[in-house]
Amino acid sequence: MYLSETDVRAIAASTHISLTDEEIVRMTKDLNDVIENLKPITEYELEGVEPTYHPPAGFMNVMREDVIEPGLTPEEVYANAHSHQDGQFIVPQILGAGGGR
């Protein structure tokens, strides 16, 4: 199943991504290339293969324990800040009230 430009426009609209007509054409091609590259996966014979819901036995969590370490003091944090007030950074507004690009 491949995507049409109408499909890509609908996806972009539902995710609030603004794309030009040229970007829609390029994105449609790129997404269809991804679908084409994944096609070999659909050719595997999976009849009778049970789904794996849990990793095989013997696997263990390899993440380290959470350890609380000292962090920066507020003075150290604000030392490189252009502007701050009441424990917050003051930054220029970058988004307007509209929803354009």
| Non-local CB neighbours of 16 within 8 Å, separated by 6+ positions | 99
User: Among 29, 19, 10, 27, which residue's Cα sits nearest to residue 100?
Assistant: 19
pLDDT greater than 80 at residue 55: no
Full-model pTM:
0.47
pLDDT greater than 90 at residue 5: yes
Strands 84-85 vs 88-89: parallel, antiparallel or unpaired: antiparallel
Tokens of 55: 């990793």
pLDDT greater than 70 at residue 40: yes
pLDDT tier, 100 (very low <50, low <70, confident <90, very high otherwise): low
pLDDT greater than 80 at residue 97: no
Residue ranges of domains in the chain: 5-43
Q: Where are the alpha helices (DSSP H) in 1-101?
A: 5-14, 21-38, 74-78
**pLDDT (0 to 100) of residue 60:** 74
**pLDDT (0 to 100) of residue 99:** 54
Tokens of 56: 């095989």
